[in-house]
């Protein structure tokens, strides 16, 4: 049973455009939602994360929007650049205890065209 579902699977955006990736979760006990960025052959890098007590968090060109009632959260990449071309994963931890696994959402491959 997949507890975190991500869409779209792939995305092509022009340089300067906005990339939007959505995630839906099922477990209402989830209370931390990170996004990871991964380049081919590299490890996932923690990009930005949000807790459900806020509806939006912004770091530079990256913004997370959170809708608790809909159990959805999304990543917006503003002014997308070719260097942003990567795979993006949303995730959620199983619980608060140390060592609890992350469940990933499937990934979205983003290609930013110059």
Contact between residue 90 and residue 23 where contact means Cβ atoms under 8 Å apart: yes
**Applying CB under 8 A, does 34 fall inside the site for other proteins?**
yes
Rounded to the nearest whole angstrom, what is the least distance from the CB of residue 79 to other proteins in the complex? 26
Measured from the CB atom, the residue of 9 and 67 that comes closer to other proteins is: 9
Question: Residue 95: is it exposed, middle or buried by C-beta count within 10 angstroms (0-12/13-18/19+)?
Answer: middle
Rounded to the nearest whole angstrom, what is the least distance from the CB of residue 102 to other proteins in the complex? 6
Q: What is the rounded distance in angstroms from the CA atom of residue 108 to the CA atom of residue 9? A: 5
**Binds other proteins by CB under 8 A, chosen from 12, 18, 46, 54:** 46
């Amino acid at each position: 049973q997949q507890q975190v579902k991500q869409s779209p699977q792939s995305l092509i955006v022009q340089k300067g455009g906005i990339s939007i990736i959505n995630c839906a979760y099922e477990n209402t006990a989830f209370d931390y939602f990170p996004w990871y960025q991964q380049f081919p052959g590299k490890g996932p890098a923690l990009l930005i994360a949000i807790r459900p007590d806020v509806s939006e968090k912004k770091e530079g060109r990256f913004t997370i929007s959170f809708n608790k009632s809909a159990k959805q959260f999304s990543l917006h990449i503003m002014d997308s650049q070719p260097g942003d071309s990567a795979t993006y994963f949303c995730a959620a931890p199983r619980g608060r205890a140390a060592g609890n696994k992350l469940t990933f959402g499937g990934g979205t491959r983003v290609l930013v065209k110059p």
